Amino acid sequence: MSLHCAANRVLDSDAAFAREALAAIADSTRAALADLDNTLGALRSSTLDESYWPISTT
Protein backbone atom coordinates (compact mmCIF):
# COMPACT_ATOMS: atom_id res chain seq x y z
CA MET A 1 0.00 0.00 0.00
CA SER A 2 1.37 3.39 -0.88
CA LEU A 3 1.75 6.21 1.57
CA HIS A 4 -0.82 8.18 -0.37
CA CYS A 5 -3.46 5.44 -0.07
CA ALA A 6 -2.77 4.98 3.63
CA ALA A 7 -2.95 8.73 4.22
CA ASN A 8 -6.27 8.96 2.41
CA ARG A 9 -7.71 6.12 4.46
CA VAL A 10 -6.58 7.63 7.76
CA LEU A 11 -7.66 11.10 6.65
CA ASP A 12 -11.24 9.87 6.37
CA SER A 13 -11.23 8.33 9.84
CA ASP A 14 -8.97 10.70 11.83
CA ALA A 15 -8.06 13.92 10.05
CA ALA A 16 -6.12 15.40 12.98
CA PHE A 17 -3.92 12.32 13.28
CA ALA A 18 -3.33 12.30 9.52
CA ARG A 19 -2.26 15.96 9.60
CA GLU A 20 0.17 15.27 12.45
CA ALA A 21 1.60 12.25 10.65
CA LEU A 22 2.06 14.17 7.40
CA ALA A 23 3.71 17.05 9.28
CA ALA A 24 6.12 14.57 10.91
CA ILE A 25 6.91 13.07 7.51
CA ALA A 26 7.55 16.53 6.08
CA ASP A 27 9.84 17.42 9.01
CA SER A 28 11.77 14.16 8.65
CA THR A 29 12.12 14.69 4.92
CA ARG A 30 13.46 18.21 5.40
CA ALA A 31 15.96 17.00 8.01
CA ALA A 32 17.12 14.13 5.78
CA LEU A 33 17.57 16.47 2.81
CA ALA A 34 19.54 18.93 4.97
CA ASP A 35 21.80 16.09 6.14
CA LEU A 36 22.30 14.93 2.57
CA ASP A 37 23.08 18.48 1.46
CA ASN A 38 25.68 18.81 4.24
CA THR A 39 27.22 15.46 3.32
CA LEU A 40 27.41 16.36 -0.36
CA GLY A 41 28.92 19.72 0.53
CA ALA A 42 31.60 18.01 2.60
CA LEU A 43 32.34 15.55 -0.19
CA ARG A 44 32.53 18.30 -2.78
CA SER A 45 34.89 20.40 -0.68
CA SER A 46 37.17 17.43 0.00
CA THR A 47 37.40 16.54 -3.68
CA LEU A 48 38.57 20.07 -4.44
CA ASP A 49 41.46 19.72 -2.00
CA GLU A 50 44.35 18.56 -4.19
CA SER A 51 46.44 17.53 -1.18
CA TYR A 52 43.84 14.89 -0.31
CA TRP A 53 44.67 12.75 -3.35
CA PRO A 54 47.88 10.72 -2.96
CA ILE A 55 48.25 10.13 -6.70
CA SER A 56 48.38 12.88 -9.30
CA THR A 57 45.30 12.92 -11.53
CA THR A 58 47.09 14.72 -14.39
Q: Where are the domains of the chain?
A: 3-43
CA atoms within 13 A on the CB side of 19: 3
Is the model's pTM score more than 0.75?
no
pLDDT for the residue 9? 80
Instruction: Give every CB contact of residue 21 below 8 A, 6+ residues apart in sequence.
Output: 7, 10
Q: What is the CA radius of gyration of the chain?
A: 21
Mean pLDDT within 16-23: 87
Q: Tens of pLDDT along 30-55?
A: 999 999 999 988 887 765 556 655 66
Q: What is the pLDDT of residue 49?
A: 57
